[in-house]
Chains A and B, each alone.
Chain A
């Protein structure tokens, strides 16, 4: 097992501690590896961990939808068959749609034709949580922007506030439109907003996000952006990368290698 994977599991184990409020040792099934909690206090420290993702658009195959299918299956995302009421957590967008303010003049045509994975950026300064009148959407201690489906009033201010189009609303009951019910994540009800949760339900079990493990091309790297020794930080340092609309000051936690 690589050093990075060990590091990841240790931190994810801390998630288990936080999520369950008990030592991970009490729940052996949840901890794939004994968590070394000695380096941490019991309570999660805000800002200590900042989960992030790096998408290598060079490796990502144009017509492959493996990660999208896997995510939408695992999270019981409905399929209505049309774009108006669409619910999506992760999807592909054209290069110019994902990076509307990036330079495209005389750009390598191969790059311009790339299909770029788009998902919630788990912004460090998220406009969506600021707009929410009920704290139904909030930033967790580990940087994940999460939604409480039982508190959301469906006002859709967060959708207007998100500059990336990352959020979907349940315009009708989603349950009859789930192709194959999965027991890995709860279904949602009509009238609430949802989006990518960076697989927080998998992180507490010490597992990497579903999209990351499903990618045969190894195009997705997940890790702690606050740890200078994490694999993702090393890759960020070694490659030319971009964030979406960095000029808005949202500080996205999803990065792209072009």
Chain B
């Protein structure tokens, strides 16, 4: 089937070539990181994780959000999603792949990555995360591919495929819960040490992931003449708006607990992110931009007349994705390290090498997604 991804027009190949160039850039930056060490990044003794782990966190959420299509379609028989369930599954595959690449890019000794499997350590959340992420990738890849293959032959998918799909539903929740547990179980990092982290991760994931799905349907309509239809988009918009609302609510509860209790350690990271701490305020404009954009976007998605307007819907989806990307893909990780355990305030600034590697991994993910979707659409449109 994959050969269908090798047939395309000029626009398609230009896009693929562009991605390949960005991948090349990323590979050369990674080669530099491999020769010199992670010292080429902006990370250091105090801020020991940076954009890599932040992108990983954001993308686990994107991967999990496939469930927003799979669950209503397979459990509630919502036929409107029939055309785009596969989009969600393939988005999950490419996002999970990017997650693993980001973890690999962040490792000091990627040559020893197999140690995680050779010395399984169930007390470590990383062990579980590796398990569930790999499992999730294959669940989606296999079930998506099998359903597509059956569709091409015009037969019903084999019964085991349904089983895999049902397993993938709770699995989606598990990947993001375990990812939250990577952070939420660490003593002394107050921004993360909160029971609401896992629910908040799920809420922001379903908001941003669903918004990305809506945007993909618009892109497919434009570049591939494949229209998923207005109805599924509007249903997704409703899901996204409520998830976004829940996310904002959780953020509000964080603020209340920290500032009403008035415990300094609980306030510091939030102060650093939103108001600045002892003269350090590098993320303040970002965080406010994220918050305001998030509120406006959720507002637009909540309003039926506004979300029916395609331009407003697209803008709100972009706004929500950007807002959550800043919040989760930057603030949450960088802010979690400030102040340091020894009460120092250290700012983090990613380097060009680090950003190039990051863009390279995104490009790999987009290339995989492009090829998977190209195949899926070719099958669906009987090309």
Contacts and interface: CB of A to CB of B under 8 A. Distances in A.
Interface stretch (A42-50, A133-141, A227-235): A133-141
A18 to B, nearest CB: 21
B354 interface: no
Size range of the chain B interface in the assembly: 35 or more
Contacts of A161: 186-187
Contact of A172 (B39, B107, B337): B39
B49 interface: yes
Interface in B4-45: 36-39, 43-45
B107 A155 contact: yes
B186 A172 contact: no
Interface string B118-142: 1101011111001000000000000
Interface stretch (B89-97, B212-220, B283-291, B338-346): B338-346
Q: Decide if the interface of chain A is mainly helix, strand, loop or mixed.
A: loop
B39 A130 contact: no
A250 interface: yes
Interface string B70-114: 000000000000000000000000000000000100111110110
A160 B333 CA distance: 11
A161 B126 CA distance: 12
B107 A163 contact: no
Given A85-B44, A156-B48, A169-B48, A130 B343 contact: no
Interface stretch (A21-29, A94-102, A199-207): A94-102
Nearest to B113: A153
Contacts of A157: 124, 126, 182
Contacts of A153: 107-110, 112-113, 115-116
A118 B108 contact: no
B50 to A, nearest CB: 11
B282 to A, nearest CB: 15
B46 interface: yes
Interface of B: 36-39, 43-46, 48-49, 103, 106-110, 112-113, 115-116, 118-119, 121, 123-127, 130, 182-183, 185-189, 265, 336-337, 340-344
23 contacts: A83-B44, A84-B44, A85-B45, A97-B344, A100-B342, A100-B343, A101-B265, A133-B126, A134-B118, A134-B121, A151-B119, A153-B112, A154-B38, A155-B126, A157-B126, A160-B48, A160-B49, A160-B336, A162-B188, A173-B37, A191-B38, A191-B108, A192-B108
